[in-house]
Amino acid sequence: MLAIQLMRLTQQSREAAVIAERNRMARDMHDTLAQGFTGVIMQLEAAKGAMASADASSVSAHIERAEALARSSLGEAAPLGSRDAFAFAGGRHAFHRAQRIAATRDRRNGVAG
């Protein structure tokens, strides 16, 4: 009976680790994209202001910075998505990582795996 309960707790622990990792990855991706969009919006607003004052060189510079920020943000977010696509699909990568996390936690808490 105790062994069955221990197995259930271990499984629940693993599932909780997978969910926690998915949530962490989602937060990382959200933060990366939100920061990038904020920078793009600021540059486009600055470009609108430069247009109002007919400053063509500033307009061009702000648009180029907006484009660079967008590309940079995509570059930062793409590895998050491709590396962690397995996690969102329930793939082996996330499962094995979650197993390692759960095993580490179990060892710290004196739970046999």
pLDDT, tens digit, 9 for 90 and up, residues 72-111: 887 777 666 654 444 444 445 555 565 566 666 667 666 5
The pLDDT score that the predictor gives to residue 46 is 95
> Is 2 domain-assigned?
no
Give the predicted TM-score (pTM) of the model.
Answer: 0.56
pLDDT digits (tens, 9 = 90+) for 1-26: 888 888 999 999 988 988 888 888 88
Q: Could you tell me the two tokens for 70?
A: 């967008």
CA neighbor of 70 nearest in space, from 50, 49, 42: 42
Q: Does residue 4 fall inside a structural domain?
A: no
Identify whether 85 is part of a domain. yes
Q: Using alpha carbons only, what angle is made at residue 35 by residues 94 and 97, rounded to the nearest 5 degrees?
A: 10
- Residue 6 within a domain: no
Whether residue 57 lies inside any domain: the answer is yes
79 in a domain, yes or no?
yes
**pLDDT per position as a tens digit, 25-56:** 888 888 888 998 999 999 999 999 999 999 99
Q: What domain count does the chain have?
A: 1
Sequence-distant (≥ 6) Cβ neighbours of residue 112 within 8 angstroms: 6, 106
Please report whether residue 75 resides in a domain.
yes
Residue 5 lies in a domain: no
Domain span including residue 103: 11-108
